[in-house]
Amino acid sequence: MNTPHTTHHTLLKIGVLGAGSMGSGIVQIAATQKHQTVLVDLNEEALNKAAANLKNILARMVEKDKIDQATADVIMGRITFSKNIADFKDCDMVIEAIIENLEVKKKVFAEMESVVSHDCILASNTSSLSIASIASACKQAERVIGIHFFNPAPLMPLVEIIPAVQTSEATTTTSRALIDSWKKVTVLAKDTPGFIVNRVARPFYGEALKIYEEGVADFATIDWAMTEIGGFKMGPFTLMDYIGNDINYTVTESVFAAFYYDPRYKPSFTQKRHAEAGWFGRKTGRGYYNYAEGVEQPQPKKDEKIGKEICDRILVMLMNEAIDALFLNIASREDIDLAMTKGVNYPKGLLVWADEMGLANVLAKLEHLFAEYGEDRYRPSVLLRRMVRENKTFF
């Protein structure tokens, strides 16, 4: 492959496939950053909806004096809406943001490759699928990379950059420089299930569900412990209702399968039953909480001692996951902490936080859980044991 001749200083033409909320968000960013942008979706209704939504968002920005009307018109003018993949022909980069289905993605990447130029970068916004597998559908697999935005893309600062084993150095460098130029915070992640954020964050949901299933506390109390004592913006059950139990449960199942059924990522029957009942959360009016008009929300039992135990248990599990990600070279320690603060708004980076709690304390809490349950999910990371033995800290 020729090295992509474009640098982030020249204004490239950007293509986006998929007019859902993710695709529209990426188009909004690219057009705002002065790129000619093409949004392709085979569904005309989806395209019309995306165009209407973008107009509304820009109109609101004008109302709030963030931009003037002329700027809004120029941004809108940079976007072409199309039903034809062939309209990607003169793009320098195309970002795919369609359904999380590997076979569909592979088919689409092969099709895109047949219309774009030789040095066009093809990127996937997948949150959990293998980039190597997607890239294998292309003759020039070295031009394929993962560029994972978080929803809503225009507001969330973090973007995970995921080179596959086939991805060339030039593709990685050019992609990261481009996304950096969009004023995003980029982190480099290894092509493993869940990348950084969706892997490290699993215990925030999984351990909370386990604490509930054991009858330690109800949803409201666990949420209270994590927000009041832990300092998180949202408790796990409020957050799952916000994301949607259908989506969250599916991701949990796919991460579990992708890790060869490692017990650390085991899904929960409580979540499965909520998903099966159609209790997806806010969007269906019922999830872990009932959002119907006039329903009073349950009050937490504000017992500091229980709250601290809940918080510590979830926290050490999160820290262990972050430490293990570092041990397995998923990303650098800086990128792991950046990803969790910028991608899911954690109050602190988990590695810095583990240093503050004291690595020996983190290890002692995990070893206590491991001895109590005898379950592999509480197995302390090898790296944590080494750090404690050698009396080291992460930062």
Catalytic positions, please? 148
C-alpha span between 21 and 27 (Å, rounded): 10
SS3 string, 195-223, reads CCHHHHCHHHHHHHHHHHHCCCCCHHHHH
Strands 36-40 and 13-17: parallel
Question: Which two tokens mark 238?
Answer: 């409020």
d(CA 136, CA 166): 8
CB burial string 63-92: b at 16+ within 10 A, e below:
eeeeeeeeebeebeebbebeeebebbeebb
Q: CA-to-CA distance for 299 and 137, rounded, in angstroms? A: 52
Which ranges constitute the DSSP H helices of the chain?
21-32, 44-63, 69-77, 102-115, 131-135, 169-181, 197-200, 202-213, 219-224, 236-243, 245-258, 269-276, 304-327, 333-343, 350-357, 359-373, 382-389
